[in-house]
Amino acid sequence: METLTVQAFLNAEWQDIALIKFPGSEQGDWFTTQIDYLTDYAIDFLERDDYHAVSLNHPVSLYFEDHGNPGWLRFIDDIIPSGASRRYWVNFLDISELPQGQQNFILLKFGTMSPVGNLRIKDSVPDRDSLASSKTFSVTDVMNRASDFLDYDQERGAAAGGATLSLSLVAAI
């Protein structure tokens, strides 16, 4: 069974809070998922359905309950790459020939290091690159969407457009 670690940004740091499990992955079923909060975390925040939970529909608990409806947990749609970002990652990871369910798992595993909101998949966060802190871009590169800037941004999970570009521009100034 494949699992991925969910992290939440709480108290100004990323914390492991739960595991997304794919119980049918060995049989090729990538659409059945369950969420299991880490025990210590669940005890500390039991029954919370606010920013401590992955979703209002899945408050912090000690045991996963699918209410007799096993399947894809909808909160995952909020963090998995979609639209142009999904197309980029499918192409970048060369997974277009795989079934959609398996693509979804791989996208979660490698392409959710910086989704919108306070959740991410820990497994997708790359190891710290010693050159990353020395890589810089001018404000002009950011404003003109220079290709090396866009590549750098996308490889780190940014959609490189609209609000993302604005945030990158603000960060560059």
Percent of the chain with pLDDT over 90: 62
Of the pLDDT bands very low, low, confident and very high (cuts 50, 70, 90), residue 158 is: low
7-35 mean pLDDT = 96
DSSP designation for 146: -
* Alpha carbon distances (Å) from 57 to 6, 23, 103, 157: 16, 20, 24, 26
Percent of the chain with pLDDT over 70: 76
Strands (E), the chain: 2-10, 13-22, 34-37, 119-121
Is it the case that residue 48 has pLDDT exceeding 60?
yes
* Alpha carbon distances (Å) from 102 to 70, 93, 155, 171: 17, 12, 20, 35
Is the pTM above the cut of 0.95? no
Q: Where are the domains of the chain?
A: 2-124, 132-172
pLDDT for the residue numbered 160: 42
User: What is the rounded average pLDDT for all residues in the chain?
Assistant: 84
CA-based nearest residue to 84, from 111, 124, 58, 109: 111
**pLDDT tens figures, 109-143:** 999 888 778 999 999 988 766 555 666 777 776 66
